[in-house]
Structure formats: C-alpha cells, structure tokens
Amino acid sequence: AQKITQTQPGMFVQEKEAVTLDCTYDTSDPSYGLFWYKQPSSGEMIFLIYQGSYDQQNATEGRYSLNFQKARKSANLVISASQLGDSAMYFCAMREGTQGGSEKLVFGKGTKLTVNP
Amino acid sequence: DAGITQSPRHKVTETGTPVTLRCHQTENHRYMYWYRQDPGHGLRLIHYSYGVKDTDKGEVSDGYSVSRSKTEDFLLTLESATSSQTSVYFCAISESGPNDEQFFGPGTRLTVL
C-alpha cells in the first residue's frame, strides 16, 4: 500500500496567488515526521518544511506553511504569494519511527507546479 | 549549502558492466542514503548507512550493494548493470537532529545501454 499519496500530478496557479498541494499519508506509528521537498528543473532537491507528528502547531517557513490535519492524515503544503520561481516538482515525504531509530524517508510521486505570469 | 558531492555526474555504460557511484560529504553527518528517481515513482530508497560500516537495505535494494569505510564517503555499486537501473541517483545526508531534514547531492544520471 502506498504510504504517501499525492493526488495532483500537475497544478497551475497564477503569480501572486496562493496554492495548496495535497499530501495524504498512511502510518500506524504514533511518531513520524512529514517533509516537503522542491525539485526545480535543474534537478536538485531542496528541503522546504518539516512537521513532526507531536508538533502542536502547523509548521511555517516564510511563504510555505504546512496544513497538518492529523485525524485526516493529511499534510498539505500551502505556498502563499506564488512566484515564477516556485515552478517545480514538489515531493511530500514521511519518516516513520522514533528519533534515533529508522531514518528512512518514503516519498510520494510528486506534484508538478506551474506558476503562470 | 550542505557539502555533498557525487561522482560521476553522468555516466553511460553497457549492460553487464560493474558501476560504482561515489557520494562524498564534508558535514560529518552520521546518516547517508542512496535514492533512485524514476518518472512516475518519485524517489525510492536503495540503501542507507547509519555509521561507518553500518548499512541497511531500502525499498529497492536488489542489484545494488553499498560500502561505507569512512564517515565522509558512501559508495553505491551495481555489480552487473542492467537497463532497468537506468535512472538518476541521489545521495543524501542527515544528522538526525530535531528536524531530521535530509540534504541532497546534485544527482548522477546513469544510462545503461
């Protein structure tokens, strides 16, 4: 069974608008972490944001925020005020296990975001 | 930027030949990982290391072996390359701190003819 599901293969947004990229996950482990990475056309993987399963507040990093709904097992990425440079592939990933244990990440298949001028 | 390099960056080889990819880090991070990225699959973990000479299998380890004799180097070997191993290979490192983010290398594009 897929552990990370990104249902949007592609998304389009107008410059300066906000966009939400969906991610749902499946785990029975009470301790886990959720990540979002950005991969521009140049190919490098860039860490954006992290949410721990015990974190009380939704994570935010500049224009990025994570809409964490634990009961629904969703961890959607919200990008505010989109910029042309935000056009890229975005990957959601999950780490299971307690800190110091498994450090493996499982990635979703990604969402390609295109920001239109 | 985290100091991670991968070599070679591009390689074309023939089926049946051995191939070794190298990942080198200057961050002294404990954990190192090898992923492959294929269209429609995202990134999939091949092997990872949690210390010198300590390695474990990931999701798609068949046909691959790894070695880590020094903290800074993590080698991925394809003993006998096959066309199904044509992919982009990423190395990543993490310190296992509170945020646990992984820092990725620039990737190696491998083509097996």
**Tell me: the pLDDT tens digits for B47-103?**
999 889 999 898 899 999 999 999 999 999 999 999 999 999 999 998 875 457 888
pLDDT of residue B98: 44
B60-94: buried (b, 16+ CB within 10 Å) or exposed (e) per residue? bbeebebebeeebebbbebeebeeebbbbbbbbbb
pLDDT of residue B59: 87
Q: Which of chain B's residues have a Cβ under 8 Å away from the Cβ of A43?
A: 88, 106-107
Is the peptide bond prior to A9 cis by the omega test (within 30 degrees of 0)? no
Q: Smallest Cβ distance to A105: which of B45, B96, B99?
A: B45
Mutate to test the interface with A, among B104, B108, B110 (most CBs of A within 10 A): B104
Q: Smallest Cβ distance to B107: which of A43, A91, A109?
A: A43
Beta bridge partners of A86: none
Res. B42: pLDDT tops 60:
yes
Write out chain A's pLDDT in tens, 117 residues. Answer: 569 999 999 999 999 999 999 999 999 888 889 999 999 999 999 999 999 999 989 999 999 999 999 999 999 999 999 999 999 999 999 987 655 555 678 899 999 999 999
**Under 8 Å between Cβ of B31 and B68:** no
pLDDT of residue B33: 92
Res. B1: pLDDT tops 90:
no
Instruction: Copy the structure tokens of residue A38.
Output: 């950005």
Contact A104 B45 (CB under 8 A): yes
What CA–CA distance (Å, rounded) separates B50 from A89? 28
